[in-house]
Structure 1
Amino acid sequence: MSEPRTPSPQSPASPPAPRPETAWQPLASLRSEMDRLFDNFWRGIGTPASGAAQAALPRLFEGAFGAAAPALDLVETAAEYRLTAELPGMDAKDVELTLADDMLTLKGEKKEEREEKTEGFHLSERRYGSFQRALPLPRGVDRAKVEASFDKGVLTVILPKAPEAAAARTRIEIKPGS
């Protein structure tokens, strides 16, 4: 059996292994640059600004994409369907809900105007956005009993199931295969 060899002082040292944090450095700088480009695109301005001017810059499409497609949740229980729509910054008077031809249509429009004057600075912003979502009505909804409420920017629509629709549901036993 031989003894383990220890390197002699005259043998050349092997190159050090690369440090893990430097392996990702090119990708990190690429990501940083892409983030900067996207931020500038959405800001609508190619050069960065600072201070009050930065806060006052109009942002292209701000709220437009959110307004075009409000976040919706649809939950089914044994007795009803519950639809919730997040509409931040809106009031019930800004929203229209209609039911026609087995389609539930949600429309809304948001108007915002802001004016700010300080010494050497005047800001005047107007933003308008509207949205419309049309959802097919689930089968078996009792159309005469549909209700809606609006609280703190959240629209809740209750679509009760007709009694015959709730009773028509049957659980089927699944037998193990042979």
Structure 2
Amino acid sequence: MNLRDLTPWHHGKAGAGSTPAISELHREVDRVFDDFWRGFGGPSLFGGNGSAMAFDVRVDTSEDDKAYHVTAELPGMSEKDVEVTFADNMLTISGEKKEEKEVKEENVHRRERSFGSFRRSFTLPSEVDEAKIAATFKDGVMTIDLPKSKTAQKKAKKITISRGK
């Protein structure tokens, strides 16, 4: 058995135009690690060029009889960095994070930058009373309340469950 026997190849003949599956695996592992570090707000390790990058925003969604509720974690941001829009029953949260810190101490000089953008959209399943949508921002957490319209509230009916025979 030689190395060629251990290296999986795509279907077809090896040679010009074929790519070893091991190369695809290597790219996939790089992508997984890149996504992992990006989730911590860190820079891209594989293929990053130091420019702005997109970052993930953690969002919790819930619903009760009267409204939908969306809570987004936006650490290091303020309400001025975020835009919330609602059109055609779709809520969109977008923003850009720009942060620059400079530390000057004796024999130490360091400047750190953190920046990137995000955009999340949610299609809501029933009508929303657009005039009553409210958003609040406190300590890096934004909460959006989207009250259901009166007709959407009436559509929900609780069904009594009886014990089977």
Using the size of structure 1 for normalisation, the TM-score is 0.59
Overall identity of the aligned pairs, in %: 49
CA distance in 2, matches of 1:152, 1:120: 34
- Look up the match of 1:148: 135
Unaligned runs of 5+ in 1: 1-37, 43-58
How far residue 61 of structure 1 moved from its aligned partner, in angstroms, is 4.4
Moved over 4 A (4+): none
Superposed displacement of residue 139, structure 1? 0.6
CA distance in 1, matches of 2:149, 2:127: 6
2:65–2:153 Cα contact (<8 Å) kept: yes
* Mapped pair 1:161 → 2:148: yes
Residue aligning to 1:136 = 123
Task: State the partner residue of 2:57.
Answer: 70
The root-mean-square deviation of aligned C-alpha atoms, in Å, is 2.3
One-letter amino acid of the structure 2 residue matched with residue 60 of structure 1: P
Deviations 1:46-79 (A, max 9, x none): xxxxxxxxxxxxx5249xxxx7221111121121
CA–CA separation in structure 2 for the residues paired with 1:61 and 1:87? 19
1:60 is aligned, of 32, 40, 43, to 43
Matching of residue 91 in structure 1 with residue 78 in structure 2: yes
Q: Distance in 2 between matches of 1:174 and 1:117?
A: 68
Tell me the equivalent position of 1:22: none
Matches of 1:131 and 1:139 in 2, distance apart?
Answer: 25
Q: Distance in 2 between matches of 1:101 and 1:75?
A: 20
Give the unaligned 5+ runs of structure 2: 1-32, 46-53
One-letter code aligned to 2:139:
K
> 3-state SS of the aligned residue for 1:173?
coil
State the secondary structure of the residue aligned to 2:65. coil
Higher helix share: 1
Q: Using the TM superposition, give the Cα deviation of residue 86 of structure 1 relative to its aligned residue in structure 2, in angstroms.
A: 1.1
CA distance in structure 1 between the partners assigned to 2:108 and 2:160 by the alignment? 72
Q: Does residue 156 of structure 2 align to residue 173 of structure 1?
A: no
Paired letter, 1:120 = N
Aligned partner of 1:111 in structure 2 is 98
Matches of 1:172 and 1:93 in 2, distance apart? 44
3-state DSSP of counterpart to 1:75: strand
Question: 2:20: which partner in 1?
Answer: none
Equivalenced residue count is 119
Q: 1:140 aligns to what SS in structure 2?
A: coil
The structure with the largest alpha-carbon Rg is 1
Q: Give the Cα–Cα distance (whole angstroms) in 2 for the partners of residues 101 and 165 of structure 1.
A: 15
Residues 89 and 127 of structure 2 are in contact (CA less than 8 Å); yes or no, is this contact kept in structure 1?
no
Picking from 108, 131, 134, the partner of 1:121 is: 108
TM-score w.r.t. structure 2 length? 0.63
Q: Take 1:77 and 1:101, find their aligned partners in 2: how far apart are those partners?
A: 21
Q: How many angstroms does 1:143 deviate by?
A: 1.9
Output the amino acid matched with 1:112.
E
